[in-house]
Amino acid sequence: MKFELEHLGVKYRGDLDAATSLAIGLDFDGPQPNHFGTAPASRQPLQFGDFVGNTQQGGCCNVDVIELIPHCNGTHTESAGHIVDDDVFVGSMASQAWYPAIVLTMQPVPARETKETYRPEFEPDDQVIGSQMLKQAFQQYASLRPSALIIRTLPNDGSKSSRVYDEQSKPPFFSIEAMRFINKMEIQHLLVDMPSVDRMYDDGLLTCHHVYWNVPEGTHRVTDDSWKDKTISEMIFVPDRIEDGFYLLNLQVPAFFTDAAPSRPILFPCQAV
């Protein structure tokens, strides 16, 4: 099915059948991505009384009880409710059908090679995405005024779909200056293939989360200046066949009254005509 739309006075055409999901499939019976050493996501048949929710066990239908931690067990989208006391529910976000989006591929660099900052201070083995590389990659797309930014990090192999992030496999993260640049570009939905925009072990500061939502550091309260309508999606996977450039994003988030939920970002290629 073909579609045509107009963005900033430019017409674009695309094919709905060419959509790509950026969500990592969550295999409850196989390898899964994992962050922070949490329990893997699991499922089991519902059982009460004489009822069993499994046809192979004699039940009339299949009814699973699912246990997971959205922040740690795979692709998820989170709201400012992740870091504040206030109720900011992710299920009320991403209400538009499509968002203009940019895909950028980044090669993280050793933090010691940059002049950028982080709180707490960088550690010797930290790998970061800095503001200068973001600016250089983003500048050719700035005039498109995307509201979604999708970051693919290198190397980009299939192990991201089942990688266990721990002391031996620390993911890269953003510098403070990089996150400030993202805010300057008025990005509303940030999607990354790391498990967090912050360092895995950061003394609980979540500095880049606070910068992104403009929540004062060291507090758990939104202010009149906080950006409560923005989201962060983490642990996505962007296949190599997806080239850097302009796309349309359909960010599918369930109507959960929670700070985070499993999500399914869908990317649609389109071309200016």
Distances (CA, A) of 117 to 112, 154, 208: 10, 21, 11
201 in any annotated domain? yes
**Do the beta carbons of residue 18 and residue 241 sit within 8 Å?**
no
203 is written with which tokens?
A: 């003394």
Residue 94's pLDDT is 83
217 in any annotated domain? yes
Q: What's the rounded Cα separation, in Å, for the pair 248 and 246?
A: 7
147 in any annotated domain? yes
CATH for 233: 3.50.30.50
149 in any annotated domain? yes
Q: Summarize pLDDT for 108-146 with one digit per residue, the tens.
A: 999 999 999 999 999 999 999 999 999 999 999 999 999
Residue 33's pLDDT is 96
50 in any annotated domain? no
Residue 133, number of CB atoms within 10 A of its CB:
18
Task: Name which of 102, 93, 80, 207 is nearest 152 in CA terms.
Answer: 102
Strand partners, 7: 10
Ranges in the chain, pLDDT < 50: none
249 in any annotated domain? yes
266 in any annotated domain? yes
Contacts of 20 (CB under 8 A, 6+ apart): 239, 242, 266, 267
Residue 124's pLDDT is 93
127 in any annotated domain? yes
Residue 1's pLDDT is 87
What range defines the domain where residue 172 resides? 2-30+75-272
Q: Summarize pLDDT for 243-273 with one digit per residue, the tens.
A: 999 999 999 999 999 999 999 999 999 999 9
**Overall number of domains in the chain:** 1
Q: Which amino acid would we find at residue 169?
A: S
